[in-house]
Every structure is written in structure tokens, then in C-alpha cells.
């Protein structure tokens, strides 16, 4: 599998999101599909069902598959993901932070609200990248959309839970601002989204704003597994209030490098 080229690295840093074609073999995709389906049949303790009872489809969210499913753990340690993350971040070491499963079954109407990820995390630093890996073909209209260059705005927006109604996380930070209505100001921004085949992956920076429609397909599932990777400059930062996902028991103190049993070093 090819690692990101110099021009892809430059584009990731400029735009804050890039689609890397054919980054993972179909063998990985098949193994992860089986892990995802097993997880949905027997979810983890942080599972969230974001579709109201009686509404069509299902927006299913879960975390930390790597701790419960061999294929997900193998992906973290043995797939090209850590090398892709290292190159994009320009980092010598890579620490695995967490994973996030987002399934939208056919007909799901719930959007993924606009947000960026770092305000949810107790982490400071610039080297944090997510790999959003769809396990089914997705078209542009159902893919996550990214606001090009928003990771360079120097702004942090108040995090909200994804469930409809978007309640704020109860977390105080003087950096957090209310998120502008990005749909109302679409003309002011450039949006990135792609038609994707299994094996393609989107890499995006933890401060890049993004959101997604429901699953507009009546027949095609949209199983996506997002993994989060941190580089040399990432440090644990205590937040006053809630973080998401609520990963506790790691024993880190503010200013610590992230590496620990919960956040394993996978490269370097």
C-alpha cells in the first residue's frame, strides 16, 4: 500500500482533510466489517443510539473496538495506518488515541452535526489526525464534508453531543466559541467531500470542521470506522467538565505525553 506522497502531505496540511485512494487492502476492510457487525450485535459500554425510536434507519455510534475485536486491534498495530498518520503529521512517534464507529443504516435521517474534534478531547497539540475509513461505498452526498482550511482558523468551537438537539458538553474552556451556522454561510466556505470506495480513507486534522448528512441511500449501509492518532507534540490536558469519549483510568497528569496502556505507542 502506498504511503502519502509529498504533495498529498502538503495538501493535508493546507486543506486539513484529504482522501487517500486505495490506502488499505480489501482484506483489512473485510476483517473490519466483521468486527463492526460483531460490535453492533454486542456493543461496548459507551454505545450511543442517535436515532429516535420509530424513526427510519439507525445512527449507531460506539467506541474502542480495538479493545474488544482482534481485527480492530490488528489494524491499530499492524496496518499502514500508523505510518500514514506519522507522515501526515510529520511526527517521529505515533500514539493511538481512540476509535469511533459511526454506522448509518439505509434511510437514516440524522445528520452528524457540524463540529471539530479537538474540543471534545483532553489533548493539546497540533499533531492529531483522524482516519475516517468507510467500509461500504459512499457517495459524495453521504460522505462526511469538511470545511477546507478550517483547522487553520485558530478557533475552537463548543462541542455538542451528536444526538438530535445537540446538547452542549458540560465543559468550560475560555477558547470555546459558539459554532456559526455553517449551512447559512455555505457561500463563504469551500467544502470537501468525495465519492469513496472501500480501501479509500479520509485523513483529517482534529481542528477541521466537518459534518455529514443522514444516509440518503435506501439500500446501502454506511459503516465508517474513525481512528485517532497523536504525534510528538500531543500532551494530556485536563478539561473542566466533560470530554468525549469519556476515557478514564489512564492515570495521565496535565502536560504528560499521552503514551500509556490506554493510549499505546504504535510507532517510534
Ligand X SMILES: O=C(O)CCC(=O)C(=O)O
Our finding on whether 31 is near ligand X (CB under 6 A) is: no
Q: Does 61 bind ligand X (CB under 6 A)?
A: no
For residue 177, which phi and psi values (nearest 5 degrees)? -120, 160
Q: Which is nearer to ligand X, 216 or 257 (CB)?
A: 216
Q: Which of 76, 94, 209, 224 contacts ligand X by CB under 6 A? A: 224
Is there binding between residue 144 and ligand X (CB under 6 A)?
Answer: yes
> Using CB under 6 A, which residues numbered 80 to 119 contact ligand X?
100, 102, 112, 117
Under rule CB under 6 A, residue 131 binds ligand X: no
| CA separation for the pair 178, 230 (Å, rounded) | 26
Sequence-distant (6+) residues with CB within 8 A of 221 are 103, 104, 105, 106, 136, 215
DSSP result, 9-37 = HHHHHHHSEEEETT-S-HHHHHHHHHHHH
Residue number with CB closer to ligand X (214 or 231): 214
- Residue whose CB is less far from ligand X, 204 or 263: 204
In the complex, least distance from residue 79 CB atom to ligand X, rounded to whole angstroms: 17
Q: State how far Cα 152 lies from the chain centre.
A: 18
Residue reference for cell 425510536: 53
- CA dist., res. 88 & res. 230, Å (int): 11
CB of 70: closest distance to ligand X in angstroms? 22
Least Å from the CB of residue 206 to ligand X = 9
Which residues sit at the interface with ligand X, rule CB under 6 A? 100, 102, 112, 117, 130, 132, 144, 210, 212, 224, 226
Amino acid at each position: 500500500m502506498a504511503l502519502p506522497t509529498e504533495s498529498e502531505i502538503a495538501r493535508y496540511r493546507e486543506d486539513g482533510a484529504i482522501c487517500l485512494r486505495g490506502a488499505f487492502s480489501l482484506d483489512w476492510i473485510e476483517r473490519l466489517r466483521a468486527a463492526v457487525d460483531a460490535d453492533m450485535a454486542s456493543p461496548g459500554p459507551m454505545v450511543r443510539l442517535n436515532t429516535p425510536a420509530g424513526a427510519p434507519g439507525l445512527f449507531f455510534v460506539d467506541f474502542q473496538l480495538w479493545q474488544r475485536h482482534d481485527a480492530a486491534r490488528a489494524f491499530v498495530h499492524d496496518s499502514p495506518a500508523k505510518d500514514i498518520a506519522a507522515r501526515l503529521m510529520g511526527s517521529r512517534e505515533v500514539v493511538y488515541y481512540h476509535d469511533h464507529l459511526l454506522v448509518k443504516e439505509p434511510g437514516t435521517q440524522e445528520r452528524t452535526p457540524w463540529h471539530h474534534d479537538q474540543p471534545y478531547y483532553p489533548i493539546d497539540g497540533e499533531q492529531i489526525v483522524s482516519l475516517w475509513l468507510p467500509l461500504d461505498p459512499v457517495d459524495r452526498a453521504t460522505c462526511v464534508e469538511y470545511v477546507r482550511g478550517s483547522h487553520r482558523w485558530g478557533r475552537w468551537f463548543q462541542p455538542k453531543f451528536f444526538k438530535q438537539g445537540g446538547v452542549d458538553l458540560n465543559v468550560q474552556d475560555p477558547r470555546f466559541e459558539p459554532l456559526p451556522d455553517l449551512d447559512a454561510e455555505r457561500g463563504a466556505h469551500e467544502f470537501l467531500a468525495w465519492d469513496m470506495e472501500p480501501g479509500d480513507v479520509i485523513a483529517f486534522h482534529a481542528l477541521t470542521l466537518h459534518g455529514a448528512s443522514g444516509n440518503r441511500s435506501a439500500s446501502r449501509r454506511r459503516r465508517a470506522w474513525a481512528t485517532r492518532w497523536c504525534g510528538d507534540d500531543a500532551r494530556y490536558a485536563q478539561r473542566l467538565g466533560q470530554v468525549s469519549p469519556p476515557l478514564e483510568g489512564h492515570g495521565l497528569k496535565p502536560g504528560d505525553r499521552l503514551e500509556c496502556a490506554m493510549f499505546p505507542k504504535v510507532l517510534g
